Structure 1
Amino acid sequence: MTEDLVEWDKEILDDICNKRDKELIQQVHIPIRKRADSWYRLFSDTGKFTVRSCYRMIKGENECPDRMFWNKVWNLKLPGKVVSFVWRMCKDVIPTAVNLISKRVNILDICAWCQTATEDGMEGLISVMPGETVMQVAKRFLFAGSKKQGSMFGMICWALWYRRNKLIWEKMIVSVFGIKSMALNMFSDWRKATEVIEGSSQQQQQKRVSLWSKPPDQWVKINTDASCDLAGGVTGLGCVARDDRGQFLRARINKVQVGYLPKLAEALSMREALSWTKGWSSSKCVFETDAKILVEAINADKDNQGCSTFDCIVDDCKELIKHFEEVLIVFTPKSANSVAHLLAKGAHSMSGLQEWICTAPDLIICNLTLKAN
């Protein structure tokens, strides 16, 4: 660790650590001011033991390697009953013959269609490769395909289950072409209905949308944001400073080779913005972020009693604030923080730390047009 720069010595880590250990070490936050060492519970937001955090750890809810997949499932643009079915299908908790028998329901485990194979999951209703699960098929459609293809996959799976239930309960055979037509029509009708509702709500939102506004006279406004890529193990940090006339002053981006969660990434972005700004301005500064929980934590009157990584970064922010004559930490909606967001996203394609003075980078020029409230 290089104490002067308060960061890990990357050359030493490269020499003595393997890739896994290096990534884990770099995730450990080094506070700006010295703190006494303390025990920290990894699976708790506060770093302290709670029964809830213990229960979630036992149930495996904290690790959840498929979190991105489940987020995609629940964000499918489909009727609620279809989304719920896709989730139950991937969890293998739909009432197939094998699942019902496991619940002590006295039935045969024979497939209703072929009358020979065992009905275990949706594998008999959709085409899967040998040794492949339905969840793996769903991942293929949701990650590799477009949003529309992912939604159509969920709708057709629900229609196939509907066809299976028609046969079992009503002895009615629905053709595959009929099921495909029903799924397409239902998907089309549902999209048209939601587009009408979303269209009216978007018009109302456009009236309420918040735009970036100039700071008070003789003040400087710094907007910060972060962009997380958990799968790629990269976090982009961006901040931009403008004066009381709305004119561009400076911008800075940094790429961190660690996939932080959004909450930590936003806090880290604010800390870097404070540290960066105090090097060239210590007078009147307004710092804006779209992370409300971070703003509340920094502006809290009581001392931070937590020992989590987030709490350590918040303490660092409070320590850095002492270097300014006057400073405000303010929440702003995402619509008013678009320039900082573009910088944070652009950091993913950059080699590392970059800074611009007086002349704005190309990726934000179009968005720097002042549209004050």
Structure 2
Amino acid sequence: MVGAFSSLGCLQTKTRWLKPPLGWCKLNTDGAVSVRNGEASCGGVVRDNLGGWLIGFSKKIGICSTFEAELWGLYEGLSAAWMIGVDKLLVEIDCLDVVKLFADRRTVDRCVALVPYIMELLSRQWQVRLAHVRREGNCVADWLAKHASVDDFLCHRLLLAPMEVFALL
């Protein structure tokens, strides 16, 4: 199904990272908001069907809700996967509300400004499936989100895994 979006597995909850099927890549994303100062960030990683690192990202967002930070993670992750030419992508997010938001594309609430941009990415010529994952299965994305640069608001693309996440991979 070219250009298809599927919510298959959207209610499945996994507790650890599992490799995607042959021919698929997996994107794990996360958003984080500091309780100390309210600053938000997001991060994530795209891995191949063997678990190999393809690209990661980390971005400071500024002040926003946790839900919005999760949406930023999804947006930046989809953008990174598209940029490197992924055509079959499983997306795992530890925010069930984000997965539910996109479960039925016809009724997506567009009140958050970022939603139309995510919808545009999902409608491109590729297969994307969203699934919920427990926080334990999303530890690399969580680390990347929490360690975003505080110096700027650029999305930092990571072609190599940071040394600090090797133990988490």
Q: Which amino acid aligns with 1:214?
A: K
Out of 246, 268, 288, the position equivalent to 2:72 is 268
Query: What does the per-residue CA deviation read over 1:212-243, in whole Å, with 9 as the maximum and x for residues that have no partner?
Result: 00000011101000111265342111010111
**Alpha-carbon shift at residue 282 of structure 1 (Å):** 3.9
Q: For the residues of structure 2 that align with 1:285 and 1:294, how far apart are their CA atoms? A: 17
- Greater fraction helix: 1
**Alpha-carbon shift at residue 245 of structure 1 (Å):** 0.7
Out of 31, 51, 55, the position equivalent to 1:226 is 31
**2:91 pairs with 1:290:** no
Contact 2:90 / 2:129 at 8 angstroms: preserved in 1?
yes
**2:49 pairs with 1:247:** no
Corresponding residue for residue 334 of structure 1: 135
Larger Rg: 1
Percent of paired sites with the same residue = 26
Contact 2:29 / 2:77 at 8 angstroms: preserved in 1?
yes
**Alpha-carbon shift at residue 340 of structure 1 (Å):** 0.2
Structure 1 251/291 Cα, relative in aligned 2: closer, same or farther at 3 Å?
same
**Alpha-carbon shift at residue 350 of structure 1 (Å):** 5.8
Map of 1:289-328 to 2, 5 A cutoff? 289-304=93-108, 306-309=109-112, 312-328=113-129
Q: For the residues of structure 2 that align with 1:266 and 1:328, how far apart are their CA atoms? A: 16
Runs of at least 5 residues in structure 2 that lack an aligned partner in the other structure: 1-13
- Greater fraction strand: 2
Over 4 Å off, 4+ runs: 348-352
Query: What does the per-residue CA deviation read over 1:236-281, in whole Å, with 9 as the maximum and x for residues that have no partner?
Result: 110101111111111111112x221111110121111112221112
Corresponding residue for residue 365 of structure 1: 166
Contact 2:28 / 2:91 at 8 angstroms: preserved in 1?
yes
Q: For the residues of structure 2 that align with 1:317 and 1:324, how far apart are their CA atoms? A: 14
Corresponding residue for residue 134 of structure 1: none
Q: For the residues of structure 2 that align with 1:245 and 1:235, how far apart are their CA atoms? A: 31
Q: Which amino acid aligns with 1:308?
A: C
Map of 1:93-242 to 2, 5 A cutoff? 210-229=15-34, 231-242=36-47
Secondary structure of the corresponding residue to residue 354 of structure 1: strand
**Alpha-carbon shift at residue 314 of structure 1 (Å):** 2.8
- TM (norm. structure 1) is 0.39
Corresponding residue for residue 3 of structure 2: none
Secondary structure of the corresponding residue to residue 54 of structure 2: strand
Structure 1 239/350 Cα, relative in aligned 2: closer, same or farther at 3 Å?
farther
Give the number of the structure with larger relative contact order, counting CA–CA contacts within 8 Å between residues 6 or more apart. Answer: 2
Q: For the residues of structure 1 that align with 2:28 and 2:22, how far apart are their CA atoms? A: 17
Runs of at least 5 residues in structure 1 that lack an aligned partner in the other structure: 1-208, 369-373
